[in-house]
Structure 1
Amino acid sequence: MTVESYVTSADGTRIAYERTGSGPPVVLVGGGLDDGAENAPIAPELAGEFTVVNYARRGRAGSGDTPPYALAREFEDLAALIAMVGGRAHLFGASSGGGLALEAAAAGLPVDRVAVYEVPYFVADDQLLQWREYVVNLQALLAEGRRDEALELFMRLAGSSEEDIARARSAPVWPSLRTLAPTLAHDAACLGDGHPPPRLAEITRPTLILTGDNPFFHDAATAIAKTVPNAQRETLAGQGHVADPTRLAPTLSRFYHAS
């Protein structure tokens, strides 16, 4: 992500962001191993109708990461960005960034509408056990500075084959992923124990739960929709875990403009 500006969070951490367009503000919240680049293509699709803020979450790209980490610090980062655009904003969160967006709304941040895409919560007991084992192992690997193995662990959780992992390790992007590896712990914090937490019932704002074609995310979305009041559920047919921005943006626009 190309950094244009910074805001200062409550703990003094500088958070890098790009701001484009005009109109009601929308803050884009990235997911795992994303420094803002994954959401960047959505910004120009929305910028004709909205002020779009795409930011690098703490520990990514130009954003700092003042220790100790806590999920509440990420709420404060969002609060600083929302204050910068006038005090209220819509949120869009992708993947684990959707978990962060939902948690922030439940915590009472001044948001208007919240849309999330394919939040990777787990529903089945075996999936929850796998998630909790992943978190324990991830923390141990990162504590020992074993970033490559932490990345491999994450990729296996996401369903990558050993061949996929071998190709990724030899790809030019791998060093950048190693830099981002410590933030995998941040994303784990956004998803908590792996199941949609009961506190999401405290969300008072209209919420849109989006998925593509993968049935795993459908199960998660159903669980979220059962927990969050005022939740709407929609599927974008033909979409993978990173949705085509030309398909995603019109759906977001309709939702954010709804009365």
Structure 2
Amino acid sequence: MKTAELTQGAVTSPDGTEIGYYKTGRGPAVVILHGSMESARSHTLFAAALADEFTVYLPDRRGRGLSGPHRPDHGVATEVEDLNAVLTAAGAERAFGVSAGGAVVLEAARTCKNLKQIALYEPAIAADGAPHREWLTRFDQEVARGDLAGAMVTSMFGFEMAPAFLKVMPRGLLRWMTEKMMAKEERRAAAGTITMRQLAPTIHAEGTIVAELGGTFDKFRAVEADVLLMGGTKGLSGLKPGRATLEQVLPHVRRIEYDGYDHGSSSDPGGVNPTGTPDAVRRIAADVKAFFKQQ
């Protein structure tokens, strides 16, 4: 499966921050919004699968790659403004979002009526946002003292991403394993790769988004766009109840659950997605392409 041939561009968000993006393909515009611990280049395989019939835009969300930094009051509204700037420049009525990026796409569909079709893979809408605020103070303290491995462990438990066998391991051992994983990635990374160590500080904004949107399901009854709601049977357990609720409240929704797929199955394999496969990307992209072609 080939990756996409990408060109670069940028737009300016309402607060003056530059939001950079990659672009590929031809046809109607589609914007792909990546998730946590990812960047615009995390969906190059997915973009390539759409590029024969769609012009695909891959923006870097703030704090990553081609885009400017987070601001102190960063939240969902800022993310929606950034996305809407890209949608407007592209003339896009379609968007695909993953995890926290999926939550942003869904909120954009509620507040910005230019979106007609959205596809969401495991959108980070939790049943309750309160638990996702509790770990942010410790996370920020660890980042401030340069303990990025410790911060990543804190966020893993904060987001309820840790499998059962990790929950019984000493925290110090988990931190050591995480540091070794980051160092190994850096040794193998090609020039220009946005690594886990570089992405780690962006997790604060992801926690803020999940906390802000947690438990806000009823407001999504106002979404007029057609929605393709997707997830995997091995995805994040904390997000599964949210998908079930969204299926009930969204007026125009179709749901797909992929047997054996996990939270990263739509993203390029490697880095923080070691279990990813091109076959999984190809299958999800084919369903999204068919959905987008219905309009």
Q: What TM-score, normalized to structure 1?
A: 0.87
Q: Specify whether residues 8 and 71 from structure 1 end up closer, same or farther in structure 2 by C-alpha distance, changes over 3 A only.
A: same
Conservation of the 8 A alpha-carbon contact between 1:7 and 1:15: yes
In 1, the alpha carbon distance for the partners of 2:130 and 2:89 equals 40
In 2, the alpha carbon distance for the partners of 1:185 and 1:3 equals 29
Match of 2:288 among 249, 252, 256: 252
In 2, the alpha carbon distance for the partners of 1:154 and 1:52 equals 31
Task: Note if 1:238 corresponds to 2:260.
Answer: yes
Match of 1:72 among 61, 70, 77: 77
The Cα of 1:240 is off from its aligned counterpart by 1.7
Q: Specify whether residues 23 and 193 from structure 1 end up closer, same or farther in structure 2 by C-alpha distance, changes over 3 A only.
A: closer
- Between 1:55-64 and 1:194-203, the stretch displaced more is 194-203
Q: Specify whether residues 239 and 132 from structure 1 end up closer, same or farther in structure 2 by C-alpha distance, changes over 3 A only.
A: same
Conservation of the 8 A alpha-carbon contact between 2:98 and 2:121: yes
Q: 1:70 corresponds to which letter in structure 2?
A: G
- Between 1:234-243 and 1:166-175, the stretch displaced more is 166-175
Correspondence for 2:13:
9
Q: Specify whether residues 23 and 12 from structure 1 end up closer, same or farther in structure 2 by C-alpha distance, changes over 3 A only.
A: same
The Cα of 1:60 is off from its aligned counterpart by 0.7
RMSD over aligned Cα, in angstroms? 2.6
The Cα of 1:138 is off from its aligned counterpart by 3.5
* 2:283 alignment partner, SS class: helix
Q: 2:224 corresponds to which letter in structure 1?
A: T
In 2, the alpha carbon distance for the partners of 1:197 and 1:218 equals 13
Correspondence for 2:87:
82
* 1:121 alignment partner, SS class: coil
In 1, the alpha carbon distance for the partners of 2:146 and 2:109 equals 33
**1:157-208 per-position Cα deviation (integer Å, ceiling 9, x unaligned):** 3115256653331123379323222321221233225334332222111111
Match of 1:34 among 23, 31, 38: 38
Gaps of 5+ in 1: none
Correspondence for 1:117:
121
The Cα of 1:65 is off from its aligned counterpart by 1.6
Q: 1:5 corresponds to which letter in structure 2?
A: G
Q: 2:155 corresponds to which letter in structure 1?
A: F
Conservation of the 8 A alpha-carbon contact between 2:84 and 2:112: no
The Cα of 1:220 is off from its aligned counterpart by 2.3
The 5-angstrom pairing of residues 31-180 of structure 1 reads 31-65=35-69, 67-68=71-72, 69-86=74-91, 88-123=92-127, 130-139=131-140, 141-142=142-143, 146-156=147-157, 157-159=160-162, 161=166, 162=169, 165-171=175-181, 172-173=184-185, 176-180=195-199
The Cα of 1:218 is off from its aligned counterpart by 3.3
Q: 1:181 corresponds to which letter in structure 2?
A: A
**1:58-100 per-position Cα deviation (integer Å, ceiling 9, x unaligned):** 11112102523232221121112112212x3211111111111
Q: What TM-score, normalized to structure 2?
A: 0.77
Match of 2:247 among 218, 225, 228: 225
Match of 2:230 among 210, 219, 227: 210
* 2:116 alignment partner, SS class: strand
- Between 1:8-17 and 1:49-58, the stretch displaced more is 8-17
In 1, the alpha carbon distance for the partners of 2:107 and 2:185 equals 30
Q: Between Structure 1 and Structure 2, how many residues are aligned?
A: 255
Runs of 4+ with >6 A deviation: none
In 2, the alpha carbon distance for the partners of 1:136 and 1:44 equals 39
The Cα of 1:231 is off from its aligned counterpart by 1.6
